[in-house]
Chains A and B, each alone.
Chain A
Amino acid sequence: MNFKSLLVGIAIGIPMLIAGCGGGTNLNKISIAITTAPPASLQVNQTASMAATVTMDSSNSGVDWSCTPTGTCGTFVPTHTASGATTVYTAPATAGAVTIVAASTKNSSKTASASVTINNINVNNITIAITTAPPASLEVNQSASIAATVTMDSSNSGVDWSCTPIGTCGTFVPAHTASGGTTVYTAPRTAGPVTIIAASTANSAKTASASVTIDAVATASNITGTYTFFANGTDGGQAPISVAGSVVINGAMGTVTGGEQDYFDITSTNIFPSDPILSGSITVGADGRGTLVVTPTSAPAETYSITVVNNKHILITEFDSNATASGSLDLQTSPTSVPTGGNAFALFDATDANSFGGVLTSSGTAITASEADDDLGGVATFGFAITTGSSFTSPDANGRGTITLNDPNFGAFELAYYVVGPEAFRLIEFDGVGFATGSMYGQGTGAFSGASLGSKFVFGQAGVEAPGPTGLGIYSAAGQFTGNGTSALSSGVADVNLGDGHPKEAADLTAGTTYSISANGYGGITLTGATTDGLANFGVYMVDPTINVSDPNSASGGGGAVLLDLDASQLGVGIVVPQATSPTFVGNFAFSDDGGLATTQSSLFGLVGEVTSDGTSKVAGLGDYNELTIARTPAVTLAGTYTADAANPGRSTMPLTINGAAAPNNITLYQASSALVLHVDVDSPANQSGIIGFGVFEQQQ
């Protein structure tokens, strides 16, 4: 080798040395080790984090992850990591031996491996806990969100929900959740202890439970004392029937022990005034639904389906072959009271089509001042006195007294009154000349004026109509309005159904409408009738602002008026109640509906029951349904979906399916408060469903 050859060799060799010793990777010197090792065993589908570190790889190419047997050994996320970085390995769904391989990306021949045995799940290791517990107690039909979390369940199979006693413990939606997911539990209709059970889906033997006490909305034992009741409706001959009375109830024993009632039935022409009640019975279910049987001395026994609103107020409808007749049962709190001072009253006689109402000042024995309206068969007279010839007698031991109201236009009404409280009385005519029923309420001590209607109100009314070119003989209406405080309505709409196939919905009440309220509380609202199918003249008789006309013993919801319709072709009676601002509609409600229907044939009907509102859009419940000449069906299902009327806050519409009928009843709701909603049926005969109805939702408390 000469010197030149040596230089050439150095020139070529030095770079190679440099490259080989430090400027590049010596692939053979790369090594790899698993630095975060997987566990020796995993359950199927279980995950584990692992990492591998590559050394002598100046390119930092990282690690590629794989395993064998290929295709059935599990997965990595990610499948490539930087040296030392973590990947998550998920075991396969089947058991077996798996080798996890970490390979240098730079030199895939440099690998490290770990053996993992994949085992089937050891369900014995699963645990479950209720992480969102139900409340210790819930009222019947009410709902609560609950959740449970499962651990050591690599299958993530989730939670199955159940409860005991099976069949009467409530429901879950959904009945299966992911671990930690929420289900909605709805309490049953029956009261008592319930155990809610969350079970691991992977191992149903692994459970967690919670105890919930389901509280009744009412119990029979709390319905004890003397109650005043009334019911108006139709007998088997489809003629009017009415009863009012007082009944002594021993709820704990489930018995009726006495009382007294006035009764008339047009078909039989029986009139039984002051008829002693001999016996009877009462049952009340946990949802407030039950039965009251009253056995008077002379009148036929009456069987009522009832729904408790509260211990002092119960909705009733006669549910027997004799009649369908609806009303209420209210605790008699002051049996010796006689109407004194200012009182407002409204009477309605469906038999011979008359309405009669107004205000009066009573000395306790006589009327010292008065102002009244009447309408007999479409002939209305307004603003007359009934002072002459009118009188009162004090109540007897059952809270029954008598009133003579002398209407100068068509004679005296001999009425029995039954006391509810010092300012609430139920009225029924017993003279056989007419067949009027109604209520009288105290007016308190305040003076009235146009300002008395200067806020928001809801009203409802029902009655008879003279069928001219339209209509079926009865009508109903409900609405809401805001008075301007003097003589006009600043807003207002109503739904009116004459049964003519063209119900008026959200009909304007403001155009051309005037009202007047005198200092004595006598007043009226006059519509044009153009939007309300001829309803035009309302008599409005203001009550004590502390008196709740739908629940006279209630300490809230007071004020408003009793109402008459005084028109040429319609006669009706109703109420006006204050409308609260932004009320809710959630919880358990007693529900009533009565009127006329046209399904397979025309008939009158009555329904009382209980529904639960979810507060957003749905109600569901059960009711007893007396379609007088068609069928009498207990415990029919009630299911409705309601939608708020954005243009008229307080008004909602609801298709309500009764007993699974193919066509729902379409009802319009006017919400007075969170405790009271009035509704009117706006169906037409063309729907072949319930056509004319009126009723209430009253919150159970």
Chain B
Amino acid sequence: MRKNVGWLCLLMALAISLVAGPLHANEALALKRTVIAPRYDVTKEVTLHGTIQAVVRKPAAGTIMGAHLMVSTGQGVVDAHIGNYFVVGKYAIPFASGQTVKLTGMTVTINQKSVFLVRTMETENSTVTVRNDHGFLVYPGAKARLGTVPSTGGAR
């Protein structure tokens, strides 16, 4: 009988260990993550003032997908990418030709074409965040979630 109890205990211990397996989450060596700087660099941002010439919803080949504003500035016409969230749908802004805008962002060259990546956009009536600090487009309806995220960061 004692021998049988011993086997039972062993089986129970084995069963408990199997069940308990997933409860011990951090059993493996912690993985050291790689920290890579974001491609979008807020330190290289500039602010442009200009007037809207056109809204391009179907961009040319090789340019960033999503809507672009063609903005007339003191330095010439700037191709400013703003994505689609502020052009169509619930959060669309009624852009008009000749409308003044203030754009903060970073100029990059993509496929031999200069594009101004807009992070924030200010019109007469509103100021909106187009991108976050890492350059990802921000959906206006997701602000509640985004509001909890620090503006800088990376790997743990």
The interface of chain A, by Cβ under 8 A from chain B, is 237-239, 266-269, 342, 351-354, 359, 361, 368-371, 376-383, 385, 409-411, 432-435, 443, 445, 447, 449-450, 464-474, 487, 500-501, 514-524, 526-529, 534, 536-537, 567-569, 571, 596, 598-604, 629, 684-686, 688
Contact of A467 among B18, B36, B110 (CB under 8 A): B110
How far is A487 from B32 in the complex, measured between Cα atoms in Å?
Answer: 11
Residue B94, interface by CB 8 Å: no
A354–B58 CB distance below 8 A = no
The complex places the Cα of A464 from the Cα of B84 at a distance, in Å, of 14
Given A237-B88, A377-B134, A599-B61, A519-B111 contact (CB < 8 Å): no
Name 30 interchain pairs, CB-CB below 8 A, sorted by A.
Answer: A269-B89, A353-B136, A353-B138, A361-B22, A378-B136, A378-B154, A380-B156, A382-B33, A382-B155, A383-B26, A383-B30, A433-B144, A464-B137, A469-B39, A470-B39, A470-B108, A471-B64, A472-B110, A474-B65, A500-B111, A515-B31, A516-B29, A518-B27, A523-B28, A534-B36, A537-B155, A568-B36, A601-B60, A602-B59, A686-B111
Which residues from B are CB-within-8-Å of A602? Answer: 58-65
**Chain A residues positioned under 8 Å from B37 (CB to CB):** 568
B22–A468 CB distance below 8 A: no
Residues of A within 8 A of B149 (CB): 376-377, 379, 409-410
* Nearest CB in chain A to that of B152: its residue: A379
The yes or no answer to B3 lying at the interface (CB within 8 A) is no
Choose one: A371, A470, A567; the contact of B110 (CB below 8 Å).
Answer: A470
A388 to chain B, nearest CB (A): 14
Indicate which residue in A237, A354, A467, A598 contacts B61 across the interface (CB closer than 8 Å).
A598
The answer to whether A237 and B137 touch (CB under 8 A), given A370-B25, A467-B108, A514-B32, is no
Distance of A359 Cα from B149 Cα, bound (Å): 23
Tell whether, in the assembled complex, residue B84 and residue A237 are in contact, meaning their CB atoms are under 8 Å apart: yes
In the complex, which residues of chain B have a beta carbon less than 8 angstroms from the beta carbon of A604? 65
Provide the bound-state CA to CA distance between A383 and B109, in Å: 36
- Please tell me if the beta carbons of B38 and A601 are within 8 angstroms of each other in the complex: no
Verify if B132 is at the interface (C-beta below 8 Å from A): yes
A536 and B34 within 8 A (CB) = yes
Could you tell me if A352 and B26 are in contact, using CB atoms closer than 8 angstroms? no
B139 sits at the interface (CB 8 A) = yes
CA–CA, A526 to B32, complex, Å?
Answer: 7
In the assembled complex, how far is the CB of residue A274 from the closest CB belonging to chain B, in whole angstroms? 20
Contact B65 A468 (CB under 8 A): no
> A376 to B145, Cβ gap below 8 A?
yes
Question: What 0/1 pattern do residues 17 to 61 of B give for CB contact below 8 A with A?
Answer: 010011111111111111111111100000000000000001111
Chain A: CB-nearest residue to B24 = A519
Closest 9 CB pairs of A and B: A468-B39, A378-B134, A466-B135, A685-B62, A352-B142, A237-B88, A536-B34, A353-B136, A379-B153
Question: Beyond A239-B85, A469-B109, A600-B61, is A371–B137 a contact (Cβ under 8 Å)?
Answer: no
